[in-house]
Structure 1
Amino acid sequence: MPSPCLLPVLALAVCMVGAAEFMLSPMLAPLADAFATTPARASGLISAYALSYALAAPLMGWFSDRAGRRRVLLAALLLFALDGIALTLVPTLHAAMALRILGGLAAAATIPTVFALIADLVPPARQAGAMGGVMLGMTAGIAAGPAVAGVLADGFGWRAPFLVTAGGCLAALLAGCHVLPRNLPRSGDCQEKSRNIPASSGILLPLIAKGAWNGSAVAAYVLAGEVLRLRYGLGVPGVGAALSVFGLGLAVGNLLAGRASQCFAREESVLIVATALVAVALTLFTTGVLGLPGSLGCLLAWGAALGIAAPSSTAILARRAGAAKGQILAVSESINNLAVLMLMPVAASSLAVHGTVPAALLVGGCCLAGVALAVADRRMTA
């Protein structure tokens, strides 16, 4: 049995990754001043990180399957910490962007390795709950990262958020050295291969389905602030407060993931119900037919359903991937990011030119397509 401290340590690791990915949003102006550039060019730090993450994830997942998850995760946390410290020392924007590429590589190794570790060490019946608990750490990093980074940057300078995330990674590294088992199986082990060959089929359909429903859900959330501003005339504080409801729902969903798995005979059924709720909630929110209180309720339901769907989908992919779970989970991360990158410009343009209803039909239709693929997968694997 894994150490009882294992899941909190893994949650801390993914919390730092989530915070590092989103914390630059309120820091673009001080970063632009520090590197003598414009905020628009400073936003290249975000793009460099995200693109490196998306492109490197499959390779890092493959590497974790073969080099050993403990070794890869500890090395990734060390690289992440050193990258954050080095960012506070470089003199130019180009050097900072190069370091953010390294940070993206470290994140690409961390996330799939963490969830592959859970699949390796936690019994199948408890995997969705364990993954939901660890995803709660990522949710906390994504939700609190920008706010905390803004406070730190304002009070102590732009270097402070990078040093804090570096310190968090070092803490996770030191704790991981003690709680991560040293005798983890590798994908090259014959026993692991023979046990999981039948489970490795049926991967493509759930990968595409997740890209559709997760990509549309994330893209719609990115646009949610603009929808609230246009429809209800909310200012920046009002929009921020309204969007925090989504984060609350996401955290609740992460906590309920294990209980939801116990209510259904198969994890695939949990996924279908959760993603269908995501599709309905985001469509109702974007069309605005329920007014402001109803829109806030939709944000809450949308976040909660997504918080259940994500660990359920991850558990399904890990089970079916067998010995290649690290690589498959990494490919899933890349597909999710690429889906968001492709859908976002189209949805944003539709919102600006044609209004909320066409944008709702676009993101809602993509999400429903993902649900339909999940239903088809459930029937094929019955």
Structure 2
Amino acid sequence: MSSPFLLPVLALAVCMVGAAEFMLAPMLAPLAAAFDTSPAHASGLVSAYALSYAAAAPLMGWLSDRAGRRKVLLAAMLLFAADSFALTLVPTLQAAMALRILGGLAAAATIPTVFALIAERIPPARQAGAMGGVMLGMTAGIAAGPAVSGLLAESWGWRAPFLWIAGCCLAAFGAGSWVIPRDLPPACMSMTKDPSINNAGDGILGLLLAKGAWNGSAVAGYVFAGEVLRIRYGLEVGAVGIAVSVFGLGLALGNMLAGQARRRYQREENILTFATVVVAGSMTLFLTAAIGLSVALGCLLTWGAALGIAAPASTALLAQRAGANKGKVLAVSESINNVAVLMLLPVAASASATYGVTPDAALLGGICMAGAIGSATVRRRQL
């Protein structure tokens, strides 16, 4: 039986991944000054982390399937802590970027291992709720990371946020050493999929590609939400920031409702189909329709909430169908998601600059709906 503290510790681990990925947003100027470069060059620290994360995820997922979840996750927390601490000591931007690559490796090991561990230790009926609760930790890290890092850097200098991350990772390592269970033998791991799902390996590629489509387009669309609010409603920068935070609130709300959605709709396939259609519809309405500000904020909240429900449902479904290869499949999913966002952002930006927001929104909404249809099609083949 798993410790009642397991999920909070896993939430702390993924919170650090989310915070580390976005914490540099308010710190580019002090980092540029520290390394005697420009903010544009300092942004290479973000790229080094993200590209390392995307490229290494499949390898790290395979490693967690072979070496064991506990070993890989604890090693990742130690590497994260050591990397963050070492960043405060290096003298050059090049050395800092090399260390951020190591941080990306640690992140790539953490995310699939955490969710594979949940899939192996939590009964199938509770997996979506458990994953939603842990994803809430990542949502908190993404939302709070820039704010906390900005305050720490302003008060104590650019090194303080990295020391904060290092301390939290050490805390996660210490707590994880006590609560993360010993690794299951391979024979037991292969038995943890939902017995109601036949031919578990079938349809995984389709689900991965469909998730890349709906998740990538939803994230790419969110990047343009602030500009839409500014142009359409004449909001100032501060007001735009507050308005856009409604999406994060919706995302957190969706994470918390994931378990309730599983109990209501019974199967992850049903949740996924419904939630992704809602994502596509609310995103397209927000980006294209001439609606009042209150309705637009409602669309933004719905968009985030539906995405917050769809993500844990999709992760639980992939884990159930992956058999003994949960780490590998979930890691490939992470890579596909990141690649989809990296591909769609420049395409969407170009379409918006050339043809305006409406055709751009139609493109992203169409891709999102195609992903939703793809998920439903895979579902029908499995029933």
Does TM-score exceed 0.5, indicating one fold? yes
Does structure 1 retain, via aligned residues, the 8 Å contact 2:76–2:107?
A: yes
1:125-204 superposed matches below 5 A = 125-182=125-182, 184-186=183-185, 189-193=186-190, 198-204=199-205
Q: Deviations over 1:342-375 (max 9, x none)?
A: 0000111222222110111111011001011011
Distance 1:132 1:87 in 2: 32
Bigger CA drift: 54-63 or 346-355? 346-355
Q: Displacement, 1:232? A: 2.0
Matched AA of 1:318:
A
Residues 1:96 and 2:99 aligned together? no
When normalised by structure 1's length, the TM-score is 0.97
TM superposition shift of 1:309: 0.2
Counterpart in the other structure of 1:355: 356
Matches within 5 A, 1:264-275: 264-275=265-276
Does the CA contact (< 8 Å) of 2:257 and 2:309 recur in 1? yes
Matches within 5 A, 1:234-273: 234-273=235-274
Task: Indicate the residue corresponding to 1:210 in structure 2.
Answer: 211
- Aligned residue runs from structure 1 range 1-382, under 5 A: 1-182=1-182, 184-186=183-185, 189-193=186-190, 198-382=199-383
Which whole-Å CA distance do the structure 1 matches of 2:289 and 2:30 have between them?
36
Instruction: Give the secondary structure class of the aligned counterpart of 2:203.
Output: coil
3-state SS, counterpart of residue 201 of structure 1? coil
CA distance in 2, matches of 1:349, 1:154: 35
- Return the alpha-carbon distance in structure 1 between the equivalents of residues 256 and 190 of structure 2: 32
Matched-pair contact (CA < 8 Å) for 1:201–1:321: no
Q: Output one character per residue of 1:325-352: Cα deviation in whole Å (capped at 9) or x when no partner.
A: 0000000000000000000001112222
The 1:195/1:168 distance shift into structure 2, 3 A limit, reads closer
Pairwise CA distance, 1:166: 0.9
Helix, strand or coil for the counterpart of 1:199?
coil
Q: Which consecutive residues of structure 2, in runs of 5 or more, have no partner in the other structure?
A: none
Relative to structure 1, the CA distance from residue 195 to residue 101 in structure 2 (aligned partners, 3 Å threshold; closer, same or farther) is closer
Calculate the aligned-residue CA RMSD, in Å: 1.2
Classify 1:257/1:195 alpha carbon distance in 2 versus 1 (closer, same or farther; 3 Å): closer
Secondary structure of the structure 2 residue equivalent to 1:129: helix
* 1:267 CA drift (Å): 1.1
User: Quick one: distance in 2 between partners of 1:272 and 1:226?
Assistant: 29
1:25 aligned counterpart, secondary structure: coil
Q: Which deviations, in whole Å up to 9, do the C-alpha atoms of 1:170-220 show, x marking residues without a partner?
A: 1000000000112x224xx24544776942332111101100000001111
Distance 1:147 1:223 in 2: 21
Aligned mates of 2:326, 2:142 — CA distance in 1: 25
Q: Is the alpha carbon distance of 1:87 and 1:148 closer, same or farther for their aligned partners in structure 2, counting shifts above 3 Å? A: same
Greater mean alpha carbon deviation, residues 8-17 or residues 147-156? 147-156
- Indicate the larger mover: 343-352 or 134-143: 343-352
Judge which range, 327-336 or 346-355, deviates more: 346-355
Letter paired with 2:212: G
Instruction: Give, in angstroms, the shift of residue 152 of structure 1.
Output: 1.0
Of stretches 327-336 and 235-244 in structure 1, the one that deviates more from structure 2 is 235-244
Cα 1:312–1:109, aligned 2, differ >3 Å: closer, same or farther? Answer: same
Matched to 1:316, the amino acid is L
Q: 1:119 to 1:195 in 2, by over 3 A?
A: closer
In structure 1, C-alpha distance between the alignment counterparts of 2:189 and 2:130, rounded to whole Å: 21
Mapped to 2, the partners of 1:135 and 1:340 lie a distance apart of 19
* TM-aligned CA deviation for residue 235 of structure 1: 2.0
C-alpha contact (below 8 Å) 2:192/2:320 kept by paired residues? no
CA distance in 2, matches of 1:223, 1:283: 12
Q: Secondary structure at the match of 1:78?
A: helix
Runs of 5+ in structure 1 lacking a partner? none
- Aligned-partner Cα distance in 2 for 1:111–1:338: 16
Q: Measure, in 1, the Cα distance between the counterparts of 2:382 and 2:169.
A: 40
